[in-house]
Structure formats: structure tokens, C-alpha cells
């Protein structure tokens, strides 16, 4: 291997050097080297520390030019993403103290390609985006258990602990969301229709980025988890964008009612009319969520007397007394039903 690599400083021309770099990494790929060997070879060729980091596992390899693990990290001078199946799965970099070498870009490009080849060959379960057909098979109610188990094995979940199913609505890429909420954990993602699906062994609810709505469930059966996750997604709001089905309790029963029955209810119809008066709807939601006039006023940044006047007017529109527990309960249930109708 050493015979294939000349020091970059000795190359006669940039073109010749680029060809030698390509040949060098092609040889490494043919020899089926692993990630540490790739890092060692790259560090030796570049005469500086070379590094690899995989997003899915958090695995990092840093090697000094002498082939030993590097300590005391320094800022990367040049970085290139590693892509596999159009997904960024990690990065490679050089830690050069001086100016970048004339062939650093070519070296890193081939370094990244070589890492991608190794990951595809030895670590197929490290990518996030899965075949939608496999995901759909795993969560389908019409799939037999043998087919479901095979789909899960193909996605890397063989023998994994209970799997969380997350239904997601967001304009952000699913792999980006997955990396945030399942750092260093096994996760698969796919888009089915207009809903994103994440399958994960663990999920950190606090790490969902702003603007993402997510329903989470972890039932005994994946098909039931999928139904529950979609139900939880229907209960999300701007104030509560992430909902776990377990936290719904008896409120989840409302999702089983036909939409027609919800629309025909007098309380739901009355609250729906408030949608034309955003301030009133926001006031009612704040009051029902907090259960307190003063807490609602604090949330709305209003004086409690102003909130009281609004609630008196809203109660007249709805035909309920919002100073009584029964009236508040009716309003809250109507808000939940309206949320379900809005989808």
C-alpha cells in the first residue's frame, strides 16, 4: 500500500497528483479495508490528522500521520460530507495546521467515497432513510408476523427492544429530524402519503425541532402503534406539537367518533364559529388549558379582568357558563373535538 502513495509534497503536477489519489483510494476499496484503516491511510497520505464521523452512530475515528489515534483535536481545515443513497451519513476532514494542500479537495472527495463504500458493505443498518415498502410492511395491519419480522430484520431491528412509531408532519427532511431525536440510536424513516414515519428504539421528545408536529406510540404490535401514533398526531397543537398516545388517556376515545357526530354536536359547532374570532379562540384555549383565570391572563399577557370580560362574552356565544366546572369541561371537550376535525 505504501508503494502506491507518494507524499503530496513530491507530486510533480496537480493533475498527476489527482490521478494518484484516485488510484490510491481505488486500491483501498478493492482491498476491503475498514474505517480505521481508511483513516490511517488518509492521514499518512495527507501528512496530517484525518477524521471520520458517522451521524447515525456518532462514531468518530481520528488518526495522526504516524498511524496512531490522534489526541488533542484541532479545528478541521477542510471538511467533505459522506453521502449514501443521496443521504448525508457523516463527514470526513483533515486537520492541517497550515494552508490547505493543493490536493486536499481531491483527497477528501475520494476519502468520502471510500468511507461510503465501506459503510454500504459492512454497516447497511446505519443509514436512516429506509425503503418505504419495508416500513409500510412493518406497520401494516394486513401483514402477517413472519413478513413483519423479516421487514424489521432487513431494516436492522432484529432482536431490538420495543420499537417506537412516530407519525410526523414537517417541511424538514426526515433524516434531519431523526438525527436530532434519536442521536446515536437505531432509527429508520420513510414518507407514506403525506405523513412521515420514524421507527426507533428510543426517542427524545424534547429534541424535536420547532415547526415539527409528531405523534408517538409504542404498543405491543407495530400496526397498533401506527394507528395510535396517527391518533396522537391529530391531538397536536402549536402549544403542544409533540404528543405521546399514552398521555392522552381517555381523551384518545374521541378519535374513534365519526367526524359527522363531532360536527353535529352543538358545543363543537359553537366553538367552530369562534375560529372567525382568533382572539376569542385563543383566550378560550388558554383558559381551558390552564384552568385558572390568572394563569390564562399571564399566558395571554393581559390583565385578568380583561380575560374575565372576554370569557363572559365567549360564554354567551357558546351558551355555557365558563365560571362553572361543567361549562369549562364542555368547552374543553369541544376544543379537542374541533382539533380532531382540523386533522
Counted residue by residue, the chain has a size of: 343
Give the chain's largest Cα–Cα span.
Answer: 88
Higher model confidence: residue 58 or residue 258?
Answer: 258
CA distances for 232 relative to 88, 123, 140, 148, 228, angstroms: 30, 33, 18, 23, 6
Q: Are 225 and 163 in contact (CB under 8 A)?
A: yes
**Per-residue pLDDT tens for 3-34?**
434 544 454 556 677 888 999 999 998 888 88
Residue 156 pLDDT greater than 80, yes or no: no
Beta strands in 85-228 (DSSP E): 87-95, 164-169, 187-192, 195-200, 213-217
Residue 165 pLDDT greater than 90, yes or no: yes
Of 3.40.630.10, 1.10.540.10, 3.40.50.10140, 1.10.10.2840, the CATH number of 257-342 is 1.10.10.2840
**How sure is the predictor about 43, in pLDDT bands with cuts at 50, 70 and 90?**
very high
Q: Are 245 and 217 in contact (CB under 8 A)?
A: yes
Q: Which CATH architecture has domain 2-126?
A: 2-Layer Sandwich (3.30)
Q: What residue ranges do the domains of the chain occupy?
A: 2-126, 132-248, 257-342
Q: How far apart are the C-alpha atoms of 61 and 52, rounded to whole Å?
A: 5
Q: How far apart are the C-alpha atoms of 155 and 39, rounded to whole Å?
A: 27
Long-range Cβ contact pairs of 289-295 (< 8 A, separation 24 or more):
289/239, 291/328
Helix axes 325-342, 266-273, angle to 10 degrees: 70
Amino acid at each position: 500500500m505504501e508503494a502506491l502513495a507518494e507524499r503530496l509534497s513530491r507530486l510533480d503536477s496537480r493533475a498527476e497528483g489527482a490521478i494518484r489519489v484516485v488510484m490510491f483510494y481505488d486500491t483501498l476499496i478493492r482491498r476491503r479495508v475498514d474505517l480505521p484503516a481508511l483513516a490511517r491511510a488518509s492521514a499518512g497520505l495527507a501528512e496530517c490528522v484525518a477524521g471520520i464521523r458517522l451521524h447515525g452512530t456518532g462514531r468518530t475515528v481520528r488518526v495522526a500521520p504516524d498511524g496512531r489515534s490522534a489526541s488533542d483535536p484541532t479545528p478541521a481545515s477542510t471538511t467533505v460530507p459522506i453521502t449514501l443513497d443521496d443521504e448525508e451519513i457523516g463527514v470526513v476532514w483533515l486537520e492541517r495546521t497550515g494552508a490547505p494542500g493543493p490536493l486536499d479537495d481531491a483527497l477528501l472527495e475520494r476519502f468520502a467515497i471510500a468511507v461510503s463504500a465501506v459503510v454500504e458493505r459492512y454497516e447497511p443498518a446505519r443509514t436512516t432513510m429506509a425503503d418505504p415498502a419495508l416500513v409500510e410492511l412493518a406497520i401494516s395491519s394486513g401483514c402477517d408476523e413472519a413478513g413483519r419480522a423479516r421487514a424489521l430484520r432487513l431494516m436492522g431491528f432484529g432482536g431490538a427492544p420495543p420499537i417506537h412509531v412516530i407519525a410526523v408532519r414537517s417541511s424538514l427532511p426526515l433524516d434531519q429530524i431523526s438525527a436530532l431525536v434519536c442521536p446515536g440510536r437505531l432509527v429508520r424513516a420513510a414518507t407514506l402519503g403525506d405523513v412521515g414515519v420514524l421507527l426507533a428504539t428510543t426517542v427524545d421528545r424534547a429534541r424535536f425541532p420547532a415547526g415539527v408536529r409528531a405523534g408517538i406510540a409504542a404498543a405491543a404490535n407495530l400496526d397498533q402503534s401506527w394507528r395510535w401514533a396517527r391518533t396522537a398526531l391529530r391531538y397536536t397543537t402549536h402549544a403542544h406539537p409533540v404528543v405521546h398516545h399514552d398521555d392522552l388517556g381517555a381523551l384518545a376515545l374521541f378519535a374513534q367518533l365519526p367526524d359527522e357526530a363531532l360536527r353535529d354536536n352543538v358545543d363543537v359547532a359553537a366553538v367552530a364559529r369562534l375560529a372567525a374570532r382568533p382572539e376569542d379562540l385563543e383566550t378560550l384555549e388558554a383558559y381551558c388549558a390552564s384552568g385558572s383565570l390568572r394563569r390564562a391572563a399571564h399566558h395571554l399577557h393581559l390583565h385578568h379582568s380583561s380575560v374575565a370580560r372576554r370569557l363572559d362574552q365567549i360564554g354567551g356565544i357558546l351558551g355555557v357558563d365558563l365560571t362553572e366546572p361543567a361549562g369549562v369541561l364542555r368547552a374543553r371537550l369541544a376544543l379537542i373535538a374541533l382539533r380532531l376535525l382540523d386533522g
